[in-house]
Chains A and B, each alone.
Chain A
Amino acid sequence: MKHERAMERRQFLKGTLGVASLVALAGCDNLSQSSWFPSILSKTEKLTERVQRAITPTNALAKEYGDADISKVFPANGNTDPGTEIYAEHVAKNFSEWMVEVGGLVQTPMSWSLAALKELPARTQITRHDCVEGWSAIGKWTGVPLGDLIRRVTPLPNAKFAVFHCADVDEEGVSYYESMALVDCYHPQTILAYEMNDNPLDIPHGAPLRLRFERQLGYKHAKYVRQIELVETLAGIAGGKGGYWEDQGYEWYAGI
């Protein structure tokens, strides 16, 4: 009798646990596809941003490594070649006519050729690139501190974000773009890089110009940058979430 009851209990337990786990898993999937639940989950992003900004000194530098630490293979994710005709022409001309324009909510919009950018004071840094997927690679980057360019164009008081328009498009023709808070543009390690590991930036890694945004995840480091636009709000630009990956559900604040 006692044994039977124990058996029943065990059956009951097994059944309950099995059903509970299936329901829970299906429940999580349903919640993921609902419209309301992910919006609750994504509240975390604002909290994380507030807390991280509060505890991180504005100009705290990402760790800089030595030459010996540089990755032999630095993976290239996302688009590894914009593949457009216009881009191919730039490649053929060795990017001699590539211009980057800084405009939007600024007093004096300006454009720089690659050669002109290389005339400006440069910064070289050996830093770690952390991909949202989980991998890390270390590379040496040389470029112009973005803050130097932004100061020259003088942002208007209502400018809050810098949007980076890129030359690459995905298979469906959607243009790649990214954005960052204006305050992060002035971080000393935020640079528009034109050299990687002492060589001109190659095509897979974003030739001729890419962003280095060392305190955030890899997808924020826009490649093939052709235009920087200062804006007050990200709404109304493409999917409105502030970036190509953000429009697909990734966090805009990619500090973790």
Chain B
Amino acid sequence: MALLIHEGVGTSQGQENEQVSELAMRSEPLPLEEPSASDDLTASQGDTQDARSASAPVAERVYRHRLPVRISHWLNVPILIILIMSGLQIFNAHPALYWGDRSDRDQSLLSIRPVKAENGEIRGITTILGHQFDTTGVLGYSNGSRHAFPAWATVPSAKFLAMGRQWHLFFAWLLVINGLFFTAYALISRHVTRDLAPTGKDLRGIGKAVKDHLVFRHPTGEEARRYNVLQKLAYVGVLFVVAPLIILTGLTMSPTIDTAFPWLLTIFGGRQAARTIHFIACFTFVGFIVIHVVEVILTGFFNNIRSMVTGWFVVKHEHEGANHEA
């Protein structure tokens, strides 16, 4: 890591900054002035460590997220929400999932349907692999209407497949463009290799990281400068596994794309299988988003939001400070 950091304070303005990690790229003890946009990478990790041993600051500001990452991140917020909700609108047009190429009604893996009970009452019945669940009020039948997913979860809220498709396909293009932009940036700037890819050391510590997360113990001090191993795996998984998977399975549902790239049908096991994988990938995104937002709140909401808005993240060094005293 040390060789990535520019030595000294006199780094010239036009210096290449590709060598610098996205995280912990710049760090300075508090208080400090707001950096200007053209601020160069003057401080180094070595400098701060020296400074800390001298003055033992309690909090330190770290330049955590660079502008392209911040832009791409915030674009994803409306894009993903709309894609998920318009996707549920599209799902509602045929609320069942299958494997293979055909959608044989008696072979569904999952279905969400309104069913009239013997007493004439309509119940929402969700069937997963043959097991039936009464999900009235949320799935199948809610607020007096026969929606698989309820109106509050779909765009538009009323049943309107044509409009749901328009929203979905428009924002799908935005997702692809944003994804290509981010991927190109992350590869060229080495954000992927330096910050996102887990190291061997990371992976060996995975057991401890899982235990820590389960008791809501989060990294502080020096450890909080970097993404922890679970964070890295989650980000890499979402960015480079789930996102490509959801785009490719989406494309596999296109009869035209299937003629151009017939192997798509082969690798995903058929058009209906691709639709099922698309749906599972969608809910993987939903799960990721829920955990992500919960972690953002638990680990210092305003600090996290600020770092994704301005780039600057505050790291607290309570324990190190104590150690120095001892």
List chain B residues, Cβ under 8 A from A55. Answer: 260
- Establish whether residues B163 and A249, one from each chain, have CB atoms under 8 Å apart when the complex forms: yes
List chain A residues, Cβ under 8 A from B301. Answer: 9, 13
- Establish whether residues B91 and A134, one from each chain, have CB atoms under 8 Å apart when the complex forms: yes
- Establish whether residues B256 and A56, one from each chain, have CB atoms under 8 Å apart when the complex forms: yes
- Given contacts A25-B152, A57-B260, A63-B262, whether A131 and B94 have CB atoms under 8 Å apart is yes
The contact of A256 among B103, B167, B253, by CB within 8 Å, is B253
Mask for A25-55, Cβ within 8 A of B = 1, else 0? 1001100100000101111110110001001
A-B pairs with beta carbons under 8 Å apart, 15 shown: A9-B301, A24-B81, A40-B170, A41-B166, A41-B167, A45-B169, A48-B173, A60-B260, A61-B259, A62-B258, A63-B265, A134-B103, A135-B96, A136-B101, A136-B272
Chain B residue at minimum C-beta to C-beta distance from A48 = B169
Chain B residue at minimum C-beta to C-beta distance from A55 = B260
- Establish whether residues B94 and A135, one from each chain, have CB atoms under 8 Å apart when the complex forms: yes
Q: Tell me, rounded to whole Å, the shortest Cβ–Cβ distance linking B316 to chain A.
A: 15
- Establish whether residues B170 and A41, one from each chain, have CB atoms under 8 Å apart when the complex forms: yes
List chain B residues, Cβ under 8 A from A96. Answer: none
- Establish whether residues A135 and B103, one from each chain, have CB atoms under 8 Å apart when the complex forms: yes
Apart from the given pairs A55-B260, A133-B93, A134-B93, 20 other A-B contacts in the complex at a CB distance below 8 Å: A25-B152, A28-B85, A28-B155, A28-B156, A32-B160, A38-B163, A41-B166, A43-B170, A45-B169, A61-B259, A72-B104, A130-B253, A130-B271, A132-B93, A132-B165, A134-B90, A134-B103, A137-B103, A216-B256, A249-B160
**How far, in angstroms, from A131 to B253 measured CA to CA in the complex?**
10
A138 at the interface (CB under 8 A from B): yes
Chain A residue at minimum C-beta to C-beta distance from B78 = A24
**How far, in angstroms, from A41 to B94 measured CA to CA in the complex?**
23
- Establish whether residues B259 and A134, one from each chain, have CB atoms under 8 Å apart when the complex forms: no
B13 at the interface (CB under 8 A from A): no
For B165, B256, B259, B297, the residue with the greatest tally of chain A CB atoms inside 10 Å of its CB is B256
Chain A residue at minimum C-beta to C-beta distance from B302 = A9
- Among B251-279, those with CB < 8 Å from A are 251, 253-260, 262, 265, 271-272, 275
List chain A residues, Cβ under 8 A from B255. Answer: 62, 128, 130, 214-217, 255-256
List chain B residues, Cβ under 8 A from A65. Answer: 101
- Among A117-144, those with CB < 8 Å from B are 128, 130-138
Mask for B64-103, Cβ within 8 A of A = 1, else 0? 0000000000000000011001000011011010000111
**How far, in angstroms, from A138 to B272 measured CA to CA in the complex?**
12
Q: Tell me, rounded to whole Å, the shortest Cβ–Cβ distance linking A171 to chain B.
A: 18
List chain A residues, Cβ under 8 A from B103. Answer: 134-137
A154 at the interface (CB under 8 A from B): no
B239 at the interface (CB under 8 A from A): no
Mask for B231-258, Cβ within 8 A of A = 1, else 0? 0000000000000000000010111111
For B82, B167, B255, the residue with the greatest tally of chain A CB atoms inside 10 Å of its CB is B255
Mask for B94-123, Cβ within 8 A of A = 1, else 0? 101000011111000000000000000000
List chain B residues, Cβ under 8 A from A52. Answer: 254, 256-257, 260
Q: Tell me, rounded to whole Å, the shortest Cβ–Cβ distance linking B124 to chain A.
A: 19
The 3 closest A-B pairs by CB, nearest first: A249-B162, A255-B256, A256-B254
**Residues in A lying within 8 Å of B, measured CB to CB:** 9, 13, 24-25, 28-29, 32, 38, 40-45, 47-48, 52, 55-57, 60-63, 65, 69, 71-73, 128, 130-138, 214-217, 245, 248-251, 255-256
- Establish whether residues B275 and A38, one from each chain, have CB atoms under 8 Å apart when the complex forms: no
List chain B residues, Cβ under 8 A from A135. Answer: 94, 96, 103, 272
**How far, in angstroms, from A241 to B260 measured CA to CA in the complex?**
27
B59 at the interface (CB under 8 A from A): no
List chain A residues, Cβ under 8 A from B275. Answer: 134
B157 at the interface (CB under 8 A from A): yes
**How far, in angstroms, from A57 to B271 measured CA to CA in the complex?**
20
**How far, in angstroms, from A215 to B158 measured CA to CA in the complex?**
30
- Given contacts A52-B254, A56-B257, whether A29 and B156 have CB atoms under 8 Å apart is yes
**How far, in angstroms, from A35 to B237 measured CA to CA in the complex?**
39
List chain B residues, Cβ under 8 A from A45. Answer: 169
List chain A residues, Cβ under 8 A from B93. Answer: 132-134
- Establish whether residues A137 and B166, one from each chain, have CB atoms under 8 Å apart when the complex forms: no
B161 at the interface (CB under 8 A from A): yes
Q: Tell me, rounded to whole Å, the shortest Cβ–Cβ distance linking B259 to chain A.
A: 4
The contact of A44 among B152, B157, B169, B297, by CB within 8 Å, is B169
- Establish whether residues A56 and B260, one from each chain, have CB atoms under 8 Å apart when the complex forms: yes
**How far, in angstroms, from A251 to B170 measured CA to CA in the complex?**
12
List chain A residues, Cβ under 8 A from B169. Answer: 41, 44-45, 48, 251, 256
- Establish whether residues B101 and A69, one from each chain, have CB atoms under 8 Å apart when the complex forms: yes
List chain A residues, Cβ under 8 A from B170. Answer: 40-41, 43-44
For A42, A72, A130, the residue with the greatest tally of chain B CB atoms inside 10 Å of its CB is A130
**How far, in angstroms, from A248 to B182 measured CA to CA in the complex?**
36
List chain A residues, Cβ under 8 A from B167. Answer: 28, 32, 41
Q: Tell me, rounded to whole Å, the shortest Cβ–Cβ distance linking A55 to chain B.
A: 5
Chain B residue at minimum C-beta to C-beta distance from A189 = B259
- Given contacts A128-B101, A133-B94, whether A256 and B257 have CB atoms under 8 Å apart is yes
Q: Tell me, rounded to whole Å, the shortest Cβ–Cβ distance linking B19 to chain A.
A: 36
Chain B residue at minimum C-beta to C-beta distance from A137 = B102
